[in-house]
Structure 1
């Protein structure tokens, strides 16, 4: 991959406590025993940066971090995996407790969230985005604030809409600003219709992941692409979508056409699925 490619990823990183249960808790007082539990890095932007770094992309992660123990753990863990972290000062580091089942059920409890970014921090992030070759702007208060006053001339923006349903007001500025959008099919019965709606708002490519059914992509001229999920030994599905997007972006930077990029993305998703971390490098 050419050394000139610089990717900025802007958005959340968190310190997570993952707890696997036989079943998700019912809304009544009771006691359950965890089958297993561990702490690790989380956050959609951290996941993308980890996989991009492993794929040889020159990537910088701009994310809110506090000067607390959780922030220190995140800095060290991400750095050990080859991710260059540019911390946006926050009063606290984001922290989650994720209750999960082997069947894919999940409840995410937000224990702490970052404080609002300062004007100076926003200016620094916007400057980094403007100087990059590609910028990934993830759903977050930081991402939304960066988009508010982004310079008219900026690099291509890639946005992960996650479980977008086609009507969420929070997602709209991200969708309108994007050149390439990713999403999953959790809130749609027709991913092709959802992707067509997204393309009508301005992006030049839409990609929708479908879990075990693989993924699909749609170009503005109506060209459709599909890829099957790569068989995997499922350990933890957290971060699979972030790994998929990172694999697609890395392949695109290497000039791969959409069909080849989809295949590379599916292969990268397998890497995340077969690890109890966002990327296996965090467990080494």
Structure 2
């Protein structure tokens, strides 16, 4: 890691989630998986920048203000349509979210920003034409930074899995850290045990692949095939919006705390002990549990995460 504070660059969609209130009336909430990851890192006091597309409209302004409030530097480019992307959200009885998207992802190029960690994921990695710019950014940074990938499956956007599967597998081979849910893996590779897919992915290049399983916890697969089980965190769920994104953000933050950053980050990750990896993934699970305990995407602050971990505040003995 460099002597300066590590820099995180997140590339991907920011959008407005249109969520029904208890009376059924639609309400706007800023969101988008990569934007939520950036928010998580900003609330954890990391130096984070988000490359995204936003419209020159009220919804775009709302997203800019939301990101700035959590200390995220926004490097936005204009959408071709002039309007900000949206996702109509439906919550089931258990609070699980499903989405219908109206997206504009015509990202032409990612700015040449220096960073110690590059995080990409979700729709931005598979939706043309912007997906090519994301892939180019990963290729450009992989020798200089730790590459983090969160390949959310979005069947509503890409109902034919052939293209997305090929692109995700290409990105997995370029990544150092992959976080993926069991639901995503069931869609990407139906009929295959998600942890078996993660184990295969670990042979392609990543030093760490983490499979999240909701309330059942997570499984971390290391570069040598070692599987580490992390139990679920007991929590009363308000809804699951932003849970995986919070997990990804806290995972990156916790790895940074172990020196996993920059050109030597991949080697540093491989050198961690199994106990270190368990601690990192457990911390991410606790962060996600805080998020799901309250409505919407609402990742914890540094103080909230420290309190949940039982860590003393700065200045305390």
TM-score between the two structures when normalised by the length of structure 2: 0.75
Aligned pair partner of 2:148 in 158, 173, 180: 158
User: Aligned to 1:244, what secondary structure does the other structure show?
Assistant: helix
What is the rounded CA distance, in whole Å, between the counterparts of 1:236 and 1:37 in structure 2? Answer: 17
Residue 165 of structure 2: aligned partner: 168
Larger displacement relative to structure 2 (148-157 or 258-267): 148-157
Larger displacement relative to structure 2 (76-85 or 235-244): 76-85
User: Aligned to 1:71, what secondary structure does the other structure show?
Assistant: helix
Q: What does the per-residue CA deviation read over 1:39-65, in whole Å, with 9 as the maximum and x for residues that have no partner? A: 211100111111111112111111111
Q: What does the per-residue CA deviation read over 1:181-236, in whole Å, with 9 as the maximum and x for residues that have no partner? A: 11111116523211111112211111000011010101122222111221222111
Higher helix share: 2
What is the rounded CA distance, in whole Å, between the counterparts of 2:21 and 2:204 in structure 1? Answer: 39
In the TM superposition, 1:68-87 aligns within 5 A as 68-87=57-76
Matched, 1:266 2:289: no
In the TM superposition, 1:93-172 aligns within 5 A as 93-110=84-101, 112-118=102-108, 122-124=109-111, 127-128=112-113, 131-139=114-122, 140=124, 141=127, 142-148=130-136, 150-151=139-140, 153-163=143-153, 168-172=165-169
Residue 27 of structure 1: aligned partner: none
Contact 2:211/2:220, CA 8 A, preserved across alignment: yes
Matched, 1:9 2:16: no
Gaps of 5+ in 2: 155-160, 259-271, 302-317
What is the rounded CA distance, in whole Å, between the counterparts of 2:110 and 2:237 in structure 1? Answer: 41
Residue 208 of structure 2: aligned partner: 205
What is the rounded CA distance, in whole Å, between the counterparts of 1:246 and 1:73 in structure 2? Answer: 22
What is the rounded CA distance, in whole Å, between the counterparts of 1:95 and 1:41 in structure 2? Answer: 9
Distance 1:144 1:176, change over 3 A: farther
Aligned residues: 262
Matched, 1:42 2:42: no
User: Aligned to 1:207, what secondary structure does the other structure show?
Assistant: strand
Give 1:240 deviation, angstroms. 0.4
What is the rounded CA distance, in whole Å, between the counterparts of 1:209 and 1:248 in structure 2? Answer: 12
In the TM superposition, 1:187-266 aligns within 5 A as 187=186, 190-255=193-258, 257-266=276-285
User: Aligned to 1:237, what secondary structure does the other structure show?
Assistant: coil
Larger displacement relative to structure 2 (201-210 or 185-194): 185-194
Distance 1:170 1:19, change over 3 A: farther
Q: What does the per-residue CA deviation read over 1:25-51, in whole Å, with 9 as the maximum and x for residues that have no partner? A: xxxxxxxx73x7532111001111111
